A and B are shown apart, each in its own frame.
Chain A
């Protein structure tokens, strides 16, 4: 079945370390997105990519980086510059704005 796979589901990081969250899709979608979810704040856009080798900053890009070398993959790196990285991270993709998003199951990152 087609879908989006995020890994790992739970991730623990020590302060000062970079960590990379994986997002892979086999839906043949052009557009991919990373969101951060915090209680009571809804979803906030970190980065998005509409085609391979191109990506744009979202509303809260500081302390994060991404790459889009393949259509299927859109990894997110949480750098040590991100001051409050503990959150639930969601990856999504879409083929067309009319069809909405398909989401992965999320990665819960905890800084220890």
Chain B
């Protein structure tokens, strides 16, 4: 079985400050990990993904995430928050073998304060 835990359903940061959204996962096989962003009343958009290879992955809009196997974590970061980053962020995991089920976290709403 696989699962995803996103710590903090709401996170507030000041404009220009570091963004850190936490994601921990469990998986019995090597995982594929994803971060998605959702703006109000819209679908989800893929920000970045980790499958194999380099553990630090870069995505769109200046976001990046690091896969840490020893900590079973895949935290999302951005050095400097912009007002346009205010949205809901979802971490997701799927496994690299067997059926392609994706498990999503419950989401973290990011508020950016001017």
Contacts and interface: CB of A to CB of B under 8 A. Distances in A.
Interface in A63-99: 88, 90, 92, 94, 97-99
B100 interface: yes
A104 B43 CA distance: 6
How many A residues are at the interface, by size bracket? 20 to 34
A109 interface: no
Contact of A42 (B51, B96, B104): B104
Contact of B9 (A40, A45, A103): A40
B38 to A, nearest CB: 9
Max chain A C-beta neighbours (<10 A), residue from B44, B45, B96, B104: B44
Max chain B C-beta neighbours (<10 A), residue from A50, A100, A105: A100
Interface residues of B, number: 23
A43 B43 contact: no
B105 A42 contact: yes
B73 interface: no
B70 interface: no
A101 interface: yes
B61 interface: no
B46 A101 contact: yes
B42 A106 contact: yes
Interface of A: 4, 6, 31, 40-43, 45, 50, 88, 90, 92, 94, 97-106, 108
Interface of B: 9, 32, 34, 36, 41-46, 49, 51, 90, 92, 94, 96, 100-102, 104-107
